[in-house]
């Protein structure tokens, strides 16, 4: 015994509406499941330095204790998203509580609009005894004038003094959490 299909009562009363609903459903399924246009030819793989990373919402706090304590006068540069785009030279720990040096951008020739260097000061046992920061912002964009040092071209000299030391620092870990180019 075979059963004959019994049409739904609403379908019999409104065939145009049923057809419209089925057409919309088919269109939605086809649109949602369609394949994107032709794939672009595969080029060279992107290098890690060419991938743009969003700036961190909050800068990570320095380690409370270093796994390997810094030597006297040692300045370590912490790897980060911008350290491969700059060259830090003439790094010194002056008077035990200020890091000085020179920063030059090596990735391109555009002006530096803003940068921030952070220093974490550690004692002989590798314990954090203070922090400091150097901030640079190009004022020319807002005022049309610039009186301070320029980070473009040959670079910029910097000085990062320690704030509120709780001990005698012997070494420093320097990080670069902010670098904004034109």
| Residue 156, phi then psi, degrees to nearest 5 | -145, 140
- Kindly state the DSSP code that residue 57 receives in the 8-state scheme: S
Q: Is residue 132 part of a domain?
A: yes
The verdict on residue 7 lying in a domain is no
Question: Which CATH number is 119's domain given?
Answer: 2.60.40
Domain assignment present for 50? no
pLDDT value, residue 113? 86
Query: What's the half-sphere exposure (Cβ side, CA atoms, 13 Å) at 170?
Result: 10
In a domain, 176, yes or no: yes
Q: Is the pLDDT of residue 14 over 90?
A: no
Residues of the domain holding 102: 66-181
pLDDT for residue 15 is more than 60: yes
Q: Is residue 61 part of a domain?
A: no
Average pLDDT in the chain: 77
C-alpha to C-alpha distances, 171 to 77, 102, 114, 176, nearest whole angstrom: 11, 18, 26, 17
pLDDT digit string (tens) for 110-165? Answer: 778 899 999 999 999 999 999 999 999 886 555 555 455 555 568 899 999 999 99
pTM over 0.85: no
- Say whether 42 sits in a helix, a strand or coil: coil
Of the candidates 120, 113, 117, which has an alpha carbon nearest to the alpha carbon of residue 102?
Answer: 117
**Residue, of 68 and 111, whose pLDDT is higher:** 68
Name the domain count of the chain. Answer: 1
| Residue 181 structure tokens | 């180019």
Give the pLDDT of residue 51.
47
58 belongs to a structural domain: no
Torsion of CA 141, 146, 152, 153, to 10 degrees: 140
Determine, yes or no, domain membership for 51. no
Lowest-confidence segment of 37-41, 108-112, 119-123, 165-169 by average pLDDT:
37-41
Residue range 68-81: mean pLDDT, rounded: 94
Give a yes or no: residue 38 inside a domain: no
């Amino acid at each position: 015994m075979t059963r004959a299909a019994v049409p739904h009562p609403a379908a019999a009363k409104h065939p145009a509406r049923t057809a419209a609903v089925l057409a919309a459903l088919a269109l939605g399924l086809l649109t949602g499941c369609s394949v994107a246009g032709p794939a672009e030819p595969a080029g060279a793989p992107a290098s890690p330095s060419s991938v743009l990373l969003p700036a961190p919402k909050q800068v990570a706090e320095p380690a409370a204790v270093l796994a390997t304590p810094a030597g006297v006068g040692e300045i370590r540069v912490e790897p980060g998203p911008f350290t491969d785009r700059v060259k830090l030279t003439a790094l010194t720990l002056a008077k035990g509580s200020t890091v000085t040096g020179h920063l030059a951008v090596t990735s391109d020739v555009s002006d530096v609009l803003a940068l921030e260097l952070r220093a974490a000061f550690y004692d002989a046992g590798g314990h954090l005894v203070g922090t400091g920061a150097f901030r640079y912002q190009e004022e020319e964009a807002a005022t049309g004038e610039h009186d301070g040092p320029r980070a473009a071209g040959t670079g910029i000299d910097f000085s990062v003094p320690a704030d509120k030391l709780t001990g005698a620092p012997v070494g420093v870990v320097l990080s670069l959490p902010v670098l904004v180019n034109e």
